[in-house]
Every structure is written in C-alpha cells, then in structure tokens.
Structure 1
Amino acid sequence: MSIQLKQLKTELSAELDSILKYWSKHTLDNENGGFIGQIDCNDHIIANAEKGAVLNARILWTFSSSYKVTKKESHRKIAQRAFEFLADHFYDAEFGGLFWSINVDKTPKDTKNQIYALAFAIYGLSEYYAIAKDEKALEIAINLYLKIQEHSYDPINKGYFEAFTRDWQPIDDLRLSDKDANEKKTMNTHLHIVEAYANLLKVWKDKKLQNDITELLETIEKYFINTQTGHLRLFFDENWIEKPDVISYGHDIEAAWLLLQCAEISENQTLIENYAQYAIQMAEVTKEGLDTDGGLWYEFDTKKNELVAEKHWWVQAEALIGFYNTYQLTGDKSYLDIVYKNWKFIKKHILDKQNGEWFWGINRDYSLIEKDKAGFWKCPYHNSRACLELINRIKT
C-alpha cells in the first residue's frame, strides 16, 4: 500500500472520531430527550425546533455502524439512545408507520408516512440490531418493511409510491422537500428503500425480502438509470412517465457505489455484473461535475443549461466513496487521484476546523452556505459513512 493511501486512511479515521465527538457533545437533548432538532451554521441551538425522523434514524445508523469500528461503549450508548427514542416517539404503533416529525415535547407534529423516512428507520434499526441483538429493533424494522410492501409497493407497474397519510390513505403533497417535484415515484426514495432492504437482509435472511431487493434493483435498472448518458432519471409518475429534472451529481456518484453494494448483498450474479458496469459508467459521467479544485458541484439544471454552483457536504462525501469504488473496480489510478484531490478540497473548505463537523457547503465564490450544522437534513450519515467505507476498503 502506498504511503499516500495509508495517510488517507489515518486521516479519515481521525475525521470519523471528530464527527462522532461533535454529535456526542453537541446534539444530545438532555432536557427533552433524544437529540437536538436543529443547530444553525454558527453552532447555535434553535430552541423548540421540531425533531425529524430522518435525522434520528441516521444518528441511529451512524453510531451503530461506527461502534463496529471504534468499539467504544459511549458510541453504543448513543446508538441505544437513538433506538429507544425512535421506538418510543417516532414509531407509530397504532398504524404501523413512522411520524415524519415530532414536537420538542415528543408529541407528533407531521404524522405523514413518508416512505423515505421509513426506509431510513429500517436502515438504522437493522444496523443497531447487528450490534445490540435487540429483538425489538429487528421487530420494528420488519414491521416497517411489511408496511412498505403492503401500502407503498405498486403491484401493477412495480416500484414504490412516495407518501401517505398516517392511516395509509393517499396524500396530495408527496414531496420530500420544497425543492423536489411532486411526483409519485422518485429515484431518491427507491435508492434508499433498496439500501434499507439490503441492510435488513444482512441480519434477517428472508427469501421474500431477498426477492424484493432483486425486483427493486431490476426496476431501478429499467427506469432510473439512463444507460445512454450514465446519469440518473429522478422523477416519474405512477405509470413511469418521466418528469425530466436536473442532473444530480451527488446522487449519481452515491448510486454508483451503493447500488452495486446492494446487488452484492442480493447475491444475484447478473445484477452484480450489471451494477459493476453501471458503477463505472456513472462515476465516469459524474466527472463532468468535478471542479478544478477537486470539489464536486451539486447539480446541473438541464432546462436552464446552467450549473447549480454550490458544493454541498454530502456530495463530497459520496464522491469519496464512489470514486474509490471505481478505482477498486478498474485499478485505474486516475480515480484514486480524484479521491485524494476531493479529500484535500473537503479539508480546506468543508471541515469546520474550529467547532467540528462539516459545513453545509460553499458557493462558487467559496463563501459558506449558511445552513444547518445539524437538522432535518444535516445528519452525520453521509460524512461518517464516507469515513467508514474507506477505512474498511483501504487494506493496510
């Protein structure tokens, strides 16, 4: 192994420790339970901010997964805290779903069943079960999987619908966030359902689940991957009529490695071979979004034919894994060079060296994007996962 690669692994191990320290020190809500709902870019806690299911589920995944590497009891305890808070306050035992958000006093706020959130709960719960062997965690994960299959799965056209009311009725606003198109089937939700299902399969060897993963990967292959361009198609209606949108470099490079990992867990040889090829193709076209400084731009708006000139933290994190994965698949060191350059960019512009954690991102002129340090969408999942994946992949 090269000295440079060894140095990268050492630095990423230190950065993982730094990320976990930040979340351990600053985000525990000792007054109301669980975790602080929002911390702004200046590290100020926003009092009475609602608590999001996705944030809680991602904290659960992060500390559970990190415990496998760090073996620190403090990390296991935070994972347990996240599990108990999710099970007690986000999980909807009455209807078998998951509240999208709760108030600071732990009462439900937004009670819709956003399938994306259920998927992340499965992802976190299955990871926690792997370290704690808590049967309740596995039981809730399986229950959520069964609810997704019962209500969200489209038996006619395949794929999964986005969102429902608390009691599983149709809902008008299906969007994950204000920036998303209000469409019934999205790449982002399908990507994270298959990620969640694959993680569940690692701890619950169920044949039906394995078959559902295989079908999901085949559906993604058929509709979401544009094999002509190598980019992802993002939004569709229920009949798979595409609603063209932006090119998302972050999702392209995330899907490149993550879908291959899911295919490997599925043990379907044809899908493994196909997704290995897609991984290379998608990484190759993602290079279009690389800037000369090593950072990866957020999106390209094809309608306006212009770059969305921002470099977000999560896009950089996924670039680290995606391009390293392509280096592993091809042996081509030019992909490794992209990883080194991207990490250098992250260290220079994205890491908050004073207070810890990663900034949301920067604009074209290198000014900070003044958004949350922790919040509904700013979670420790992407950056900790980038550290964990490369720590595990770089063999010393």
Structure 2
Amino acid sequence: MKLEIEKYKDELSAELENILDYWVHFTVDEINGGFVGKIDNYNNINFSAPKGSVLNARILWSFSAAYNLKANPEYLANANRAFEYITNFFIDKAFGGVYWLIDAKGKPVDKKKQVYAIAFTVYAFSEYYLASKNESAKKMAIELYNDLINHSYDSKKGGYFEAFSREWKSLDDLRLSEKDANEKKTMNTHLHVLEAFTTLYRIWPDENLKLKIIELINDFTKHILEPETGNLILFFDENWKAKSDIISYGHDIEASWLLLEAAEAVGDETLIESVKSISVKMADTSINGLDTDGSLWYEYEPSKNHLIKEKHWWVQAEAMVGFFNAWQISHDEKFLEISLRNWMFVKSKIIDYDKGEWFWGITEQGEIMPKEDKVGVWKCPYHNSRACIEIIRRIA
C-alpha cells in the first residue's frame, strides 16, 4: 500500500502541472486582459463571453496555492495577473464587495452581491497573500470579510444571508444559480464562507474571526448537518427551517474535510475531536452515493427516490480528498481504497488527454456531457487542482 500511496502522490503532482498548463496556455486573455470567460469542450475560446467573479477568484486561488506548493514562478505570474484583474474590475470600490458578473471588456453587467462570490474572493486573496506577501491583498481580504460581517451576518439567528443588491439592499431573487432554491440561507454559501474564513485566519489570526469560524462550525453541526443520516441539508429560511431534502454527495464529502480543516485552524482540541468523528460519519454516509466503478453520483432526492445519474468532475475531486481524509482519521483502509479507485475513474473517464483539463462530467451511459464548458462561470481549476494539492501535501 505504501508504494500505491507514493504512486498516487507522483501521479497527482504530474496532473496538477497538466491542469495548470492548460490554464496558462488556453485561458489567458491577451485581447481583453485577465482570463477568458468561456471555452467549450472542444477548446473553442469565446473572447466575448462575460467573466464571473467566482471563476476569477478560483483562478487566483489555484495559481497561488500551486505556487505555495511548487514555487513555480509561472504560477505566481498568473496569480499576479488574476489579482490585478480582480482588483481592477470586480471589486466594487463604491459599496464594497465584488460584482457577480462583468462583460469581456470589464464593465459590470450583474452588480449583485452574492455572498458566495465574496467568500471566494476572500479565500483567493488570503491564499495569494501567502504566495506573494502583497499587503494590499491581505488588506482587501480583511475589508471583504468586514463587508460580510456588516451586511450578511445574521446577528439574531446566526449564519449568513445569501445575496444583496449592489447597495446591500434586500433582493427578491437570492439564487446562486437557476437550479438552486430561492432561500435566504444555503449550505453551499456557508461551506465556502467557512473555507474563506479558515484561510484568512492563517494570515490574520484575529480573535473575532476565530469566534466566527467556531460559530460557523457550530452552525453546521446544529442546523446544516442531519444528525441521523450524516448528510447536509441544502436550503433554509432565515430561521434555519429546512427547505430541501436533496442529498448532494459532492458537498457532503467536501464538507467532511473542510469542517476538520477549519477546526484544526483555530486549534480547539475538543472541537477537533468532535469534528473528526463527524467527518468519518459523513464519509461513511457518502459511500451510499458510490457507483461500482468508484465514482460518486451527483445528487439524490429521497422524497422522489430520484438519483441524478451524472458524474461531475468536481464531485470526483472532492471524493478523492474527503475519503483520503477519512482514512487519515480512522485508519480504515476502505476509505483509502475508495479514494484510489475514484482517482482511477478520473484517469479513465474525466481527464481529457487530447485537449487538456477535465471534462465537466459523464452521463449514466458513460458518455461525455457534450454541452458543458471546459472554462466558464462554474468550470474552474479549483476543485481538481485543490484535490491534487491536498493529497500531495497529506502524503508528503
């Protein structure tokens, strides 16, 4: 098994370079600046496509984190490019926060304040500061954190409201995407606020920030995690009343390791031990979403007994890390075997060896999902590069 683990590390190290090579060679926008907003499955670049704040923050995070692992100057150069573009075009200098969407030339086309996008920008700026020691990145990460505390934090019931207008006023449509429920609080946003605050704490060990991280972990254990099943509830009203029964296998396994990462960051030993047991339970529960080939299905709706039989790239990336994490905690070999088998599935079905990067996903019939992007508002280098980085670090 030791040889298998070393092989796993070596293969992921090579794959990390492959992923980022794609983003260096195909996504740099020499016409409009920054990075292109859309590339289809066949590597056709759309230079006129709008650019999303989430995509650009994830590009910045990925190149910064890869530089922090490998010290490749090309990664830092692309991180610098991403940071400069975000600060010039996505930061709302009048009202704070970040714009959701800009056009190819950099003009805002959707100025709403989606907390999810702001969290990813905090995450990216914090990781970039670790790579560059650029004090303005740290300063802006803290400013964005304060925007979230001042405008989104629910001081009465805890947690964070989902979205606002440019001026931080209430909105009728709070949805992150068309597939989401229009509710005031969501698991997805809380997970990535937690992720952002955890990385910010590494560069800014503020006591109030520490308390907010602990409070977020408690929000998960008290409201978001279904204690009987070990699954996450996806949508809530302002009073934490559950508004969904959909199981998202990718988010369950992703949260299983991000919750522990947050607990370890604040150094609370009692909390760490509690979250470890939760992490293993969540990983154990996620086994219910595995197919026989080692891949993880997308979503399941219990009330309709409906399984969405798609295998998305990001779900597999999070499965690789989440099951590996569960093995590290429990020493149960089944979790390591699942992580390794999932990587075998990724190698055989998800990686595009011809044109580069990972396909969006595979259908139930094993066919590539043809209408999805290689690069887009949601298709980014973050999940797959992070899976490589996390497992390389853990094995090393």
- TM-score, normalisation: structure 1: 0.99
Q: Which residue of 1 aligns with 2:385?
A: 384
C-alpha distance after superposition, 1:4-49 (max 9, x if no partner): 1111111000000000100000000011000000001111112311
Determine if contact 2:129/2:135 at 8 Å carries over to the other structure: yes
In 1, Cα distance between equivalents of 2:284 and 2:273:
17
| Counterpart amino acid of residue 382 in structure 1 | H
| Counterpart amino acid of residue 43 in structure 1 | N
In 1, Cα distance between equivalents of 2:174 and 2:211:
27
Q: Which residue of 2 aligns with 1:210?
A: 210
In 2, Cα distance between equivalents of 1:94 and 1:304:
46
Q: Which residue of 2 aligns with 1:293?
A: 293
How much has 1:89 moved relative to structure 2? 0.5
Q: Which residue of 1 aligns with 2:68?
A: 68
Q: Which residue of 2 aligns with 1:25?
A: 25
In 2, Cα distance between equivalents of 1:303 and 1:181:
16
Whether 2:97 is the aligned partner of 1:102: answer no
C-alpha distance after superposition, 1:369-393 (max 9, x if no partner): 1200011000000000000000000
- TM-score, normalisation: structure 2: 0.99
In 2, Cα distance between equivalents of 1:48 and 1:302:
41
| Counterpart amino acid of residue 100 in structure 1 | W
Unaligned segments of structure 1, at least 5 residues: none
3-state SS of paired residue (2:39): coil
- Poorly superposed stretches of 4+, deviation over 4 Å: none
How much has 1:270 moved relative to structure 2? 2.5
In 1, Cα distance between equivalents of 2:353 and 2:288:
29
In 1, Cα distance between equivalents of 2:248 and 2:58:
21
| Counterpart amino acid of residue 170 in structure 2 | P
In 1, Cα distance between equivalents of 2:244 and 2:52:
29
Q: Which residue of 2 aligns with 1:57?
A: 57
In 2, Cα distance between equivalents of 1:150 and 1:346:
42
Q: Which residue of 2 aligns with 1:305?
A: 305
In 2, Cα distance between equivalents of 1:220 and 1:232:
8
Q: Which residue of 2 aligns with 1:355?
A: 355
How much has 1:106 moved relative to structure 2? 0.7
Q: Which residue of 2 aligns with 1:322?
A: 322
How much has 1:154 moved relative to structure 2? 0.5
In 2, Cα distance between equivalents of 1:159 and 1:3:
44
Q: Which residue of 2 aligns with 1:188?
A: 188
Aligned residue pairs total: 395
In 1, Cα distance between equivalents of 2:391 and 2:34:
29
In 2, Cα distance between equivalents of 1:92 and 1:274:
39
In 2, Cα distance between equivalents of 1:281 and 1:84:
42
| Counterpart amino acid of residue 336 in structure 1 | L
In 1, Cα distance between equivalents of 2:53 and 2:119:
11
C-alpha distance after superposition, 1:295-348 (max 9, x if no partner): 110011123202100000000000000000011001111111111111110000
| Counterpart amino acid of residue 232 in structure 2 | L
In 2, Cα distance between equivalents of 1:140 and 1:165:
20
| Counterpart amino acid of residue 378 in structure 1 | K
Q: Which residue of 2 aligns with 1:113?
A: 113
3-state SS of paired residue (2:307): strand
C-alpha distance after superposition, 1:33-90 (max 9, x if no partner): 0000000111111231100000000000000000012211110000000001011100
3-state SS of paired residue (1:300): strand
In 2, Cα distance between equivalents of 1:270 and 1:93:
41
In 2, Cα distance between equivalents of 1:351 and 1:175:
30
In 1, Cα distance between equivalents of 2:64 and 2:319:
23
Q: Which residue of 1 aligns with 2:163?
A: 163
In 1, Cα distance between equivalents of 2:303 and 2:82:
41
Determine if contact 2:68/2:130 at 8 Å carries over to the other structure: no
In 1, Cα distance between equivalents of 2:72 and 2:244:
46
C-alpha distance after superposition, 1:335-366 (max 9, x if no partner): 11111111110000000011110000000000
| Counterpart amino acid of residue 331 in structure 1 | H
In 1, Cα distance between equivalents of 2:287 and 2:200:
32
Unaligned segments of structure 2, at least 5 residues: none
Which piece of structure 1 moves more, 110-119 or 236-245? 236-245
How much has 1:269 moved relative to structure 2? 2.2
In 1, Cα distance between equivalents of 2:290 and 2:77:
39
In 1, Cα distance between equivalents of 2:53 and 2:274:
33
3-state SS of paired residue (1:366): coil
| Counterpart amino acid of residue 62 in structure 1 | S
In 1, Cα distance between equivalents of 2:152 and 2:142:
15
How much has 1:228 moved relative to structure 2? 0.7
Q: Which residue of 2 aligns with 1:240?
A: 240
In 2, Cα distance between equivalents of 1:108 and 1:376:
14
